[in-house]
Amino acid sequence: MEKGKFIVFEGLDGSGKGTQINLLVEEMKKRGRRVYQTAEPTESSTGGMIRDALAGFVKRDEYELSALFLADRIFHNVNPKNGIAQFLERGIDVVCDRYYYSSFAYQGIDADLDWVMGLNLGCKEIIRPDLCIFLDVDIDSCDERIEKNRFSREIYENKETQRMVRNRFFEVFKKLKDSENIKIVNAAREIQEVFSDIVKIYETI
């Protein structure tokens, strides 16, 4: 049986990942693919600890958050009920909202970037994606979308932090350019224009 494809969407908060993921999943299904849609952090107990920290309910430093994300990501890959690995082995495609690239970009601001990358890339249980699509939107537009669509902001959802995160994403992509399939899409356009580019990229895998 052909293994499923593993596709990850990344981007700043407010970049439109959710919208484009939903569109691509529907398109994949129309083409006869079986698709499992997921996200990080997961709904596990560790994922709950992460969400509490992101919401500002519990204060954790970036090294602690990096370790929590690592534990949650391993669970996300290997758990027998809805883990990424078992879906891919059954020929089911997996589309994930955020993955280890986000750990590198967000926790990699204050924690040592090489340490965060080594934790994830050196773990045999963590599967490398077939494709990472990064939705690139300017900081001001992302901030406007967050203000319009959120009741409250998470700890990273401010312009200064998002600017550092965007720079870190591109630093990470440069480090990974020879080992990973990363495509950057200008997402500061009409939804259907962005989606058209995403479909063309998807067709390459």
- Extents of the domains making up the chain: 6-203
Q: What is the pLDDT of residue 76?
A: 98
Q: What is the pLDDT of residue 131?
A: 98
CATH number of 6-203: 3.40.50.300
Q: What is the pLDDT of residue 157?
A: 67
Bridge partners, 94 (sequence order): 6, 36
Q: What is the pLDDT of residue 27?
A: 98
Measure Cα distances from 98 to 5, 31, 39 in Å.
Answer: 16, 24, 6
Residues of the chain below pLDDT 50: none
CB-CB contact of 66 with 8 (8 Å): no
Q: Phi, psi (5° rounding) for residue 63? A: -70, -40
Whole-prediction pTM value?
0.93
* Dihedral over Cα of 69, 123, 115, 168: its sign: negative
Q: What is the pLDDT of residue 158?
A: 79
The total number of residues shown for the chain amounts to 205
